[in-house]
Amino acid sequence: MTQQRVNDFVIKIGTVNGTGSASANNLLLKALFRMGIPVTGKNLFPSNIQGLPTWYGIRANRDGYMSRSLRVDVLVALNNQTYQRDMENLCPGGFMVYDSTWPRAKQLNRDDITVLGVPLAKMCNENFSDARVRILMKNIAYVGVLAALMSIDTQVLQTLIEETFASKPKLIESNLKAMGLGYDYTMENFTCPLPVRAETMGDNRKHIMIDGNSAAALGCLYAGATVGAWYPITPSTSMMDAFKKYCKTYRIDAQTGKKNYCIIQAEDELAAAGMVVGANWVGARAFTPTSGPGISLMSEFIGFAYYAEIPAVFFNVQRVGPSTGMPTRTQQCDIMACAYASHGDTQHPLLLPANPHECFEMAVKAFDLAEHLQTPVFVLSDLDIGMNDWMIPELEWDDTYRPNRGKVLNSEEVEELEKFCRYLDSDGDGIAPRTLPGVSPKAAYFVRGSGHNKNALYTENSDEYQEIIDRLLVKWKTARKRVPGPVLEPAAEKTSIGIIAYGSSDGAVTEALDGLAAMGIHADYMRVRAFPFDDEVTGFVKSHETIFVVEQNRDAQLRSLLILETNTDAQKLVPVLHYNGMPIPAQCVVEGVCAHMRVEVMA
């Protein structure tokens, strides 16, 4: 008898890319969400348009664990190419739904799982005439099957379908029909519900489902960004798609019909970076979304903007490197490359969101910081945050917010000066006031990436050069005070063990902390949210004997940064790494910590 698993399961759906299963998967996800169950959806997709295998994993967890779980409780196997592998990944006692329209090879059996055949294609072929509709409706039919098997509220599903197709009543009808086909067949032929099932838990009304790229795009919209320059690259593309969508709704001037935004698809990432720098130079808030390969190409302009002190906002939705790597898989592999991007002495503030909620907030913060500090600022998200469906607390906006445009002198302020010196800091924060083109002849200065003095004049004079480069260090200290601080989660008991992680590794760590505590291993957890590290991060490193640094890259880049920047003993920082391209599961953290602590992992 299979163990009862109520509101704690993983559904995996294996389909073929391009068959339109996304809307069906979203329907399932939203239904569970509306039943009040904490839920996440992870899309595992190929770098392909049509024909290759794709999977969607839904994790529902009553305790709110959001990281990728390694177990699969219910499998919907609709792709012959991956059928065997998918079945092998199903956990013992699991359930597999397949399309019984076609015979299934006998050797593909496992005696520790339950196989449930539903003639999905046959049902849809009999009930729908159009070829494309048949394929699409097969997806909705498996939603009906799962609803029956797992007690997913059909009323909720119906409402969702009605809302989704409110403007196309014919589609409501066909979708409900398809769902009914799957539901009825399952109720008639199998014992429902399964021990693995959903149960209404309350409500998630204070939460939303969103992906990080959409949330970051919303952040740009709310921050007042007007210029977006970009070159398409997975997994950042959907961020500009979302920004465009929001702009089309909220940024068209009601009177003139003209756009209060300018999105430029550049010829390459070099140009995209140049455009962002150019637009920020004249005083428009401008950004570019990209991924690792784009950062490599943009590095020349990143160093330029650092030295010439021009604000710029770069969103790096990280994917697997090196080189082209695996564009549709996730990693945290660019933190080192971004922290010191470009040749010469350069260093850049990085904001490290752990979920879409922070993508929204940090997008706004990035513009404020970039303009305040007059320097490039990076938001380091990744494919897992950017492209997967996350349940997060509702986004909030303070209408009293006004952008921090930094020290920008207008013509009156310039007139009051005896002389305008572009690179002269008068108040000790390392930031010199700038002027925008168009102000007055007295405010004019010459931006250059070559050696310059405080008057923005070309120099090859050692002292003049060093004066500027040393002031940039003072500015770096200001940056340290202004970036978001870390989030500290102290252990229930006093401990000398610490864990440091950032970004999308957060879910795995928080889940692992509970598991470790149950084994008697207590650890304080610090999630760093920015670079440069502030005193709190340094203090945490100093005050713990052993610190596990959890991250998703091979070379322990965050650990290296901590060693470099907190001047700590490398021995006490223990790497816990996951870098195969899949989001890090909690089990990896538990195993990593236990391996070091020489404690056997309890099964």
Partner 1 sequence: MSFIKKPRIELPTQQRNDIGLLERDYEGPMSTLCAGCGHDSISAAIVRAFWELSIPPEKVIKLSGIGCSSKTPAYLLPGSHGFNSVHGRMPSVATGALAGNRDLVCIGISGDGDSLSIGFGQFGHAVRRNLNMLYLIENNGVYGLTKGQFSAAADKGSKAKRGDINQWKNIDPVSTAISMGSSFVARGFSGDREQLVTLIKAGIMHPGCAIVDVVSPCVTFNNHPGSTKSYTYTRDHYHPVSQADFVPPATEIRTSYAEGESTVVALHDGSSLHLKKTDSGYDATNRSRVMRFLEQQRARGEVVTGLLYINTELPEMHDIYRTSATPMKDLEFEKLNPGSSVLAELQARMR
Scanning residues 210 to 249, which ones bind partner 1 (CB under 8 A)?
Answer: 210, 218, 221-227, 229
**DSSP assignment of 307-368:** HHT--EEEEEEE-B-STT-BTTS-----HHHHHT-SSSS----EE--SSHHHHHHHHHHHHH
Quote the tokens at residue 55.
């999977």
CB 232 within 8 A of CB 238: no
**Which residue among 87, 240, 271, 377 contacts partner 1 (CB under 8 A)?**
271
Cβ nearer to partner 1, comparing 87 with 240: 240
By CB under 8 A, the residues from 304 to 343 that bind partner 1 are: 304
Q: How many CB atoms lie within 10 A of CB 520?
A: 9
**Which residue among 279, 468, 499, 584 contacts partner 1 (CB under 8 A)?**
279
* Residue 297 C-beta: closest distance to partner 1, Å: 11
**Which residue among 284, 326, 487, 517 contacts partner 1 (CB under 8 A)?**
284
**Which residue among 93, 403, 485, 581 contacts partner 1 (CB under 8 A)?**
403
Q: CA angle, corner 564, sides to 559 and 568, nearest 5? A: 80
Radius of gyration of the chain (CA): 27
Cβ nearer to partner 1, comparing 55 with 307: 307
**Which residue among 274, 289, 386, 507 contacts partner 1 (CB under 8 A)?**
274
Of 24, 284, 18, 270, the residue nearest 147 (C-alpha): 24
- The reply to whether 480 sits near partner 1 by the rule CB under 8 A is no
CB 512 within 8 A of CB 590: yes
* Residue 159 C-beta: closest distance to partner 1, Å: 11
- The reply to whether 463 sits near partner 1 by the rule CB under 8 A is no
By CB under 8 A, the residues from 366 to 395 that bind partner 1 are: 394-395
By CB under 8 A, the residues from 413 to 452 that bind partner 1 are: 435-450
**Which residue among 188, 253, 412, 427 contacts partner 1 (CB under 8 A)?**
253
CB 537 within 8 A of CB 364: no
- The reply to whether 578 sits near partner 1 by the rule CB under 8 A is no
- Indicate the DSSP class of residue 205: T
Of 60, 229, 52, the residue nearest 146 (C-alpha): 60
Q: How many CB atoms lie within 10 A of CB 454?
A: 16
Cβ nearer to partner 1, comparing 65 with 390: 390
- The reply to whether 268 sits near partner 1 by the rule CB under 8 A is yes
- The reply to whether 297 sits near partner 1 by the rule CB under 8 A is no
Cβ nearer to partner 1, comparing 447 with 564: 447
CA dist 538 → 535, 545, 562 (Å):
5, 13, 8
- The reply to whether 102 sits near partner 1 by the rule CB under 8 A is no
* Residue 151 C-beta: closest distance to partner 1, Å: 20
By CB under 8 A, the residues from 8 to 67 that bind partner 1 are: 30, 33-34
Q: How many CB atoms lie within 10 A of CB 397?
A: 10
**Which residue among 95, 231, 301, 315 contacts partner 1 (CB under 8 A)?**
301
Q: Which stretch binds partner 1 (CB under 8 A): 54-62, 401-409, 469-477, 576-584?
A: 401-409
* Residue 259 C-beta: closest distance to partner 1, Å: 5
Cβ nearer to partner 1, comparing 398 with 427: 398
- Angle, nearest 10°, between helix axes 237-250 and 212-223? 50
* Residue 120 C-beta: closest distance to partner 1, Å: 28
**Which residue among 62, 71, 122, 251 contacts partner 1 (CB under 8 A)?**
251
CA dist 428 → 197, 346, 472, 473, 478 (Å):
62, 20, 11, 11, 9
Cβ nearer to partner 1, comparing 32 with 76: 32
What distance in Å separates the CA atoms of residue 128 and residue 27, rounded to the nearest whole number? 20
Q: How many CB atoms lie within 10 A of CB 402?
A: 9
* Residue 220 C-beta: closest distance to partner 1, Å: 10
- The reply to whether 579 sits near partner 1 by the rule CB under 8 A is no
* Residue 240 C-beta: closest distance to partner 1, Å: 15
- The reply to whether 348 sits near partner 1 by the rule CB under 8 A is no
**Which residue among 88, 412, 427, 460 contacts partner 1 (CB under 8 A)?**
460
Count the site residues for partner 1 by CB under 8 A: 80
Q: Which stretch binds partner 1 (CB under 8 A): 259-267, 374-382, 424-432, 563-571?
A: 259-267
* Residue 257 C-beta: closest distance to partner 1, Å: 7
**Secondary structure (3-state) at 378:** strand
Residue 405 one-letter amino acid: R
What distance in Å separates the CA atoms of residue 198 and residue 7, rounded to the nearest whole number? 5
What distance in Å separates the CA atoms of residue 146 and residue 12, rounded to the nearest whole number? 11
Cβ nearer to partner 1, comparing 149 with 218: 218
What is the side-by-side strand order in the sheet with 546-551? Answer: 487-489, 524-528, 497-502, 546-551, 573-577
- Indicate the DSSP class of residue 496: S
Q: Which stretch binds partner 1 (CB under 8 A): 53-61, 124-132, 296-304, 470-478?
A: 296-304
- The reply to whether 96 sits near partner 1 by the rule CB under 8 A is no
Cβ nearer to partner 1, comparing 273 with 537: 273
By CB under 8 A, the residues from 159 to 218 that bind partner 1 are: 204-205, 207-210, 218
What distance in Å separates the CA atoms of residue 320 and residue 47, rounded to the nearest whole number? 12
What is the residue whose two structure tokens read 């664990």? 65
What distance in Å separates the CA atoms of residue 84 and residue 428, rounded to the nearest whole number? 66
- The reply to whether 520 sits near partner 1 by the rule CB under 8 A is no
Q: Which stretch binds partner 1 (CB under 8 A): 57-65, 455-463, 557-565, 587-595?
A: 455-463
Q: Which stretch binds partner 1 (CB under 8 A): 6-14, 268-276, 480-488, 493-501?
A: 268-276
CB 164 within 8 A of CB 23: yes
**Which residue among 4, 48, 260, 410 contacts partner 1 (CB under 8 A)?**
260
* Residue 157 C-beta: closest distance to partner 1, Å: 14
Cβ nearer to partner 1, comparing 438 with 520: 438
What distance in Å separates the CA atoms of residue 147 and residue 141, rounded to the nearest whole number? 10
b/e map 333-361, b = 16+ CB within 10 Å: bbbbbbbbbbeeebbbbbbbbbbbbbbbb
